[in-house]
Structure 1
Amino acid sequence: MAEAIRVVALGNDGDGMAQTPQGRVFIPGTVPGDDVLLADETGTHATLERIVTPGPDRVTPPCHLSDACGGCRLQHMALPAIAAWKTARVVEALQRTGFTDIPTPATHQVAPYGRRRVDLAFRRVDRRIVLGLHRRRGDVVDMTQCTVLDPALFALLAPLRQVLHSLPAVHAGGDVQINLLDSGPDLLIALDGTPDANDRRILAQFGKSHGIPRISLRAQPPETLALTGPVFHHFDGVRVVPPPGAFLQVARDGEAAIRAAVLGNLPRKGLKAGIIELYAGCGTLSFALAEHAKVNAYEGDRAAFACLKQASGGTRVLPALR
């Protein structure tokens, strides 16, 4: 009978790491302290047969799709242990680059059901649309549950499956990125067919029915397929018009924690010369920083720069394209 082996650490991808007679292996679905039996080993990767004795940080995943869905790799691990692992990775990265005097990192864990940005794949399977995330190196897993996604976005998935099924421009499948802006969900869709007037009509009606002011086609540059209302978002009271597929921090409370950390560590003196902000995006931090000093906000993405420039009038934000 095979002997159980002990998982001793987590690898960079969140897989448990153990030492076998053949060498080090990484085992998805395990946490440090687990005693496990392996089904098979291929190089440095192994498949879990069963857990003999669970480690102290193992918990029951809150989502029944956690073993299949490729979105969450550590739902079987206690939140304090996840925070400690991520903190250690940041400290190790700083140490490798030569930092020695590293302050104690502050941590923040986003509440469940707080994610407002998601990138999903969809496929036609047996005369229906499967919409969700890819399992590891595998097919799309239909997202029938999610304890991470904002309920407003999750509620959109069922009608989204229906409208994608009805689109003539959807042959085998595609993908869709959704941002939850202050104006409502903002969709950026990649299709494997060419949308015609009928596709646009269907999407416009879908947008009106579900409070989606803009649906865009992933292209260079993105093309508007349906526009049924104003598109906007706010950063520190400043109204911006994000481009399709704009980068947002994944959760509002996570964004607020980052903002508070940045502002809390501004120097008390020496701001008269202004602040240089790199990767300013659409203004996530720019307008908050501008309350303290002039901000030279640098951004390399032309669409994000145009958004920031349009919104910066009358503020101390000075956008620059670099």
Structure 2
Amino acid sequence: MTKTNPGRFFEDYQTGQVIRHAVPRTVSGGERALYHALYPARHALASSDEFARACGLKAAPLDDLIAFHIVFGKTVPDVSLNAVANLGYAEGRWLRPVWPGDTIRSESEVIGLKQNSNGKTGVVWVRTRGLNQSGESVMEYVRWVMVRKRDPEAPAPETVVPELAEVVDASGLVIPSELNFSAYDFELAGENHRWGDYEIGERIDHVDGVTIEEAEHMLATRLWQNTAKVHFDATNREDGKRLIYGGHVISMARALSFNGLANAQMVVALNAGAHANPCFAGDTVRAWSEVLDKAETAAPGVGAIRLRLVATKGDSGDFVLKGEDGKYAPEVLLDLDYWALMPV
């Protein structure tokens, strides 16, 4: 009897199925130190206990994307080990900060299935929750992946395509109850730009770039315990290349966005996202953002800003997203739509 796990194939999923993912992970300041070594991450709220306390928090929470990567990574052996592509995200919300000492685990519910016309693959939609040691949800999101079939002759399941909100409504954003930006120190944060300085439709070139290296992306992917073969095994693709983990590109672009959005301190919702084109070692990642919306909040001194974050390989200054055919331009790596919190 074989004891190894080949991962789930498309015909192994059922709508309504709940999957509890292994293995719980207790996080520490080590995750923060490694994250800040891997990416040029400098947002003050996640960097300094004293800055965070001045904003009402008990200490600096871990970067919001650390929570995302940990929760996501645990789902890979059960959801996307045999995936062809990660197709998109929706309805993502960060529900409470993650602190050093917290233990994080993940569970997913299958909410949709649709076999593709070729009969060899199908799309699986899952709603994933990350929970802490008290059973409290720290974040949730929906993603959908294209997964291979083990047996192309296996019958297609009933098609269920979930209806998903295009945008998390601002009224549904969860803001830590103690967060207060009334005495926010703009000088220590790194920029003077506040919520009222940004206009809907404004685009920001974040200027800087980072060339992706094999060792760094594999270290990052191992850090999040993501076991997807395409990120490690050069024989898994016909071109012999290791595919850069999409979350590595997300974190790199978010870190690069500091230059121009240093005060977008907390990511609180993920509206949509697409890994538009593959990223490989040697690509130089740059980023630009577009302001999509703004909303007031009930938290003192806190505004919400909705941003499109675009990562590119090569020049980011021309703000090209899609061609006349409606397809992403070949230099676009990531198109991410999210809400962040910023001092007013």
Category of TM-score, reference length = shorter chain: under 0.3
**Structure with the greater relative contact order (CA < 8 A, sep ≥ 6): 1 or 2?**
2
Q: Who wins on radius of gyration, i.e. which is larger?
A: 1
Q: What TM-score results when the alignment is normalised by the length of structure 2?
A: 0.23
